[in-house]
Amino acid sequence: MGDPSVKEAAGDVMPKVADDESKPAEVVAEPTGIWALLPSPAQLAMTFGIIGSLMVYGVLQEKIMTKPYGVDSEGNGGEMFKNSFFLVLNNRFAAGFVAAMILIAQKEYSQLKNTAPLYKYFMVSVSNVVATTCQYEALKHVTFPTQTLFKCGKMVPVMIWGTFISAKKYTIVDYAVAVCVALGCTAFTLTGNIVAKKGAANSSLYGMALMAGYLGFDGFTSTFQEKLFASYEMTMYNQMLYVNGCSAVMSIVFSALSGQIMSTLAFLTKHPQVLYDALILSFSAVSGQFCISYTIKNFGALLYATIMTIRQLLSVIVSNLLFRHSLTPWQWVATIGVFGSLLFKSWFSKRFK
């Protein structure tokens, strides 16, 4: 997806060629010292785009799944929204629709057809729907900071899937960072309460099982998507269209099998606020997807990884302030250790690239 010719260093300036060939080309000096570390305006815009859209996504996700709707002025009553498949359907339909509109606008009509066998898109879709549903359901049982921290551990299943599916090899630094992240997540769970406020006393075990399911299926999703790009001549929008379309179909099927369609429609009629929140959730998710794709294509995966690490740390802080999660000092130490390990990996990759 990325163009290897695109320079990743912040502030790279190409030499200006003079109009008159008889005159020497005027070369603009590249930034040096601390100025070379500063991001370009485009990088800053994508940084704010990714962090802003995904933080809105995270806050709304936590609100929809953990806060009751229809609470009276005294804070009593209210009903919890329970259909995770509806949120998955909403997000996937929005992303697939936007991808189709972009292909039509760019007149890439050939990419409106599936370039890979449909069952391979469905393989990605099934794992993606299961992973996303596990993510939403886990919020009923563990706190948002717990979920966010464990998302950082996705590099472990990605490395496992990459070894089996694509025969990839990883460096000692990759394994060392994976171990540090795993130890940090373990320390976080052992040094404070991780149960969601609405969860039962034994919810944490079930919530952690859901997060393990999320990590495993999400790792397969990204690894298999990468393999599809390498095996078939498909654009990013072609894969977005078919994977999200298949995921929307799967969400409808799962909702029907679980008998939640009618109850969801009744809930939306009674509490239309949840539909408004879900629409903004989908808009922020789609915006985040496009900012992420632009960043990876034009500035490389390294900048994207760094941005995502910072975004996840900020999400923990914002969630802690808005929803008043009480983290112990040792949990904060574990959190800083996990994010510090990921930032070190980004720095190391750039320093010794």
**Tens-digit pLDDT string for the chain (353 aa):** 444 433 333 333 334 444 444 444 444 444 444 444 456 788 788 888 888 888 888 888 888 888 889 887 776 778 888 888 888 888 889 989 999 999 999 999 989 999 999 999 999 888 888 888 888 888 888 887 888 888 777 777 878 887 887 777 778 888 888 888 888 887 887 787 777 666 555 567 888 899 889 888 888 887 888 788 888 888 888 988 999 899 888 888 888 888 888 888 899 999 999 999 999 999 998 888 778 777 766 776 556 666 776 777 777 777 777 777 777 888 888 888 888 887 787 777 666 65
Quick one: tokens of 343? Answer: 């930032």
Integer Cα distance of 50 and 105 in angstroms: 24
Integer Cα distance of 79 and 270 in angstroms: 10
Integer Cα distance of 216 and 158 in angstroms: 8
Shortest CA distance to 245 belongs to which of 101, 134, 122?
Answer: 122
C-alpha distances (whole Å) from 336 to each of 194, 294, 305, 317 are 17, 28, 16, 11
Q: How much is the pLDDT for 280?
A: 93
Q: How far apart are the first and last CA of the chain?
A: 19
Quick one: tokens of 339? Answer: 């994010």
| Dihedral of the alpha carbons of 110, 96, 318, 309, in degrees to the nearest 10 | -30
Residue with tokens 């996990």: 338
DSSP-assigned states of every residue in 117-167? -HHHHHHHHHHHHHHHHHHHHHTTTB-HHHHHHHHGGGHHHHHHHHHHHS-
Quick one: tokens of 338? Answer: 């996990």
Q: How much is the pLDDT for 101?
A: 93
Query: What is the pTM (predicted TM-score) of this model?
Result: 0.64
Residue 77 has a CB neighbour count (10 Å cut-off) of: 10
CB 84 within 8 A of CB 140: no
